[in-house]
Amino acid sequence: MTQSAAAQKPPATPRRLDPEDAQTALAEVQERLRRQQLVADLVHRQEEGDAKATLVEDLVHRQHEAELKTLLDGLHPADIAFILESLPKDERQTIWKLVSPEHDADVLLEVEDWVRESLIEAMDRQDLVAATGSMDADELADLAPDLPPDVVAEVQKGLTEEERAQLLEAMGYPEDSVGAIMDFEMVRVREDVTLEVVLRYLRRLHELPDHTDQIFVVDRQDKLQGILPLSRLLVSEPETEVRAVMNSDFLALNPLDSDADAAGAFERYDLVSAPVMDDQGRLIGRVTIAEVVDVMREDSQEQALSRAGLQEEDIFAPVSTALRNRAPWLLLNLCTAATASFVASQFEGTVSHIVILAFLMSIVAGIGGNSGNQTMTLIIRALAMGRITGRNLWQLVKRELLVTLLVGLCGSLVAALFAWVISHSLSIALVMMAAMICNMLVGASVGVLVPMVRARFGKDPAMGSSVLLTFATDSLGFFIFLGLATFFLL
């Protein structure tokens, strides 16, 4: 029976865990920084070389730093990470210097990647080695890409052979794989021992690894034989052997599985942890709900940004960085908008004869875009959950087109009534109705095709999808509406 040595670390000092504390603390930090800056500005207005003013500034500065440090020491590392992410870079560095060194490692693991880089840049080599030297192999592997190579090499010297092998193994897996998020802290037992022996072993441990809901049963070659839930361990007779009460039917992950697939399995089967086995059936790690929640959150954030053609960035990043991130898709959006305007300009004669069309065509384009956006959201989510296959794709397309057609019929009646009220023309109302139905079907078709085609070629199905959808529904919406108007009304 073995357990990672990292699991025997002394327990961390209790921290406040109320989410509202982070918001309150952020406001307090910002207020103290504002006061500190105000004092500095007042001192600078004094005559240069005023020793008394400089002394006052130094005293106030130290007082504010002491208050800020006391505030930070009472927060959970996740709350400190939230504060750092919510401050401009200069203020972020000021607060980072006040964080207790014993919490540096936890905060670095909690902050977003775009903040972590700036924090690491502000730390000297000795502080980085001290912060990362206490990390587990899987945690160090998460930070390794952002750390200077010499720091990683120095930290490796302090690892045991087993921990060094685990670090190299974790760093060798793709970023979005199970291997990249698994940890090595777990409790193993043999199947031929009694539950009383297992209980005695557990009592000798300082604490169990986080999110331990089951113990893994392995043979002498570390091949996984089954799992022993803690709940069953506690209610079974102590004389019973492990093999008699362990579960031989269990879910195991492969280190090369997608982390999104693992997240789906955790959601589907209500898991707290799951073993990770290599191709030979050996137990090499485990994935816990903590890592899965992070995967779900990151995927959700990336999907939301991708739909607008954005990548994750520091909200206080330099303008040049923001321009590189946002400009390409905005320029594409400009081109698509220009195309839609060009299409509309080709019907100048129609619009000049029936001016009311200029007010109605934006409705046709907008409703088509909204309809397509609903379909696209459903498709992207289904793709992320792995629910779309070659067998059900056509059935899904037909369903979406049918739903859109029925919704379009209802909505177009309202739109036609509105067009008739403001134009007093039944012909315009009918054209409005037909154009809206057609453009909603266009939006639904694009909402299905864009994510599916991008996924088919291994691209992010959400990336820029809203831009492409707007292009299709605006351009074709104007063409359909004004084309029908030209054909039937002139």
Tens digit of each residue's pLDDT (9 = 90 or more) over 154-196: 888 888 888 888 888 888 899 889 999 999 999 999 999 999 9
Tens digit of each residue's pLDDT (9 = 90 or more) over 201-239: 999 998 899 999 999 999 999 999 999 999 999 999 999
Whole-prediction pTM value? 0.69
Tens digit of each residue's pLDDT (9 = 90 or more) over 410-423: 999 999 999 999 98
Tens digit of each residue's pLDDT (9 = 90 or more) over 76-93: 888 999 999 889 888 899
pLDDT of residue 201: 93
Q: Which of 58-67, 70-79, 111-120, 425-434 has the lowest mean pLDDT?
A: 58-67
**Which of 11 and 324 is assigned the larger pLDDT?**
324
pLDDT at 62 over 70: yes
pLDDT range class, residue 313, cuts 50, 70, 90? low
pLDDT at 12 over 60: no
**Which of 318 and 13 is assigned the larger pLDDT?**
318
pLDDT of residue 226: 95
Mean pLDDT across the stretch 30-55? 70
pLDDT of residue 237: 94
Mean pLDDT across the stretch 13-38? 72
pLDDT at 148 over 60: yes
Q: Which of 13-17, 356-360, 408-412 has the lowest mean pLDDT?
A: 13-17
Q: Mean pLDDT of all residues in the chain?
A: 85
pLDDT at 312 over 90: no
pLDDT of residue 322: 67
Domain ranges of the chain: 2-122, 187-307, 319-489
pLDDT at 1 over 70: no
SS (H, E, C) the chain: CEECHHHHCCCCCCCECCHHHHHHHHHHHHHHHHHHHHHHHHHHHCCCCCHHHHHHHHHHHHHHHHHHHHHHHCECHHHHHHHHHCCCHHHHHHHHHHCCHHHHHHHHHHCCHHHHHHHHHHCCHHHHHHHHCCCCHHHHHHHHHHCCHHHHHHHHHCCCHHHHHHHHHHHCCCCCEHHHHCECCCEEECCCCEHHHHHHHHHHCCCCCCCCCEEEEECCCCEEEEEEEHHHHHHCCCCCEHHHHCECCCCCECCCCEHHHHHHHHHHHCCCEEEEECCCCEEEEEEEHHHHHHHHHHHHHHHHHHHCCCCCCCCCCCHHHHHHHHHHHHHHHHHHHHHHHHHHHCCHHHHHHCCHHHHHHHHHHHHHHHHHHHHHHHHHHHHHCCCCCCCCHHHHHHHHHHHHHHHHHHHHHHHHHHHHHHHCCHHHHHHHHHHHHHHHHHHHHHHHHHHHHHHHCCCCCCCCHHHHHHHHHHHHHHHHHHHHHHHHHC
Tens digit of each residue's pLDDT (9 = 90 or more) over 91-120: 899 999 999 988 898 999 888 888 888 899
Region 319-489: CATH code:
1.10.357.20
pLDDT of residue 209: 92
Region 187-307: CATH code:
3.10.580.10
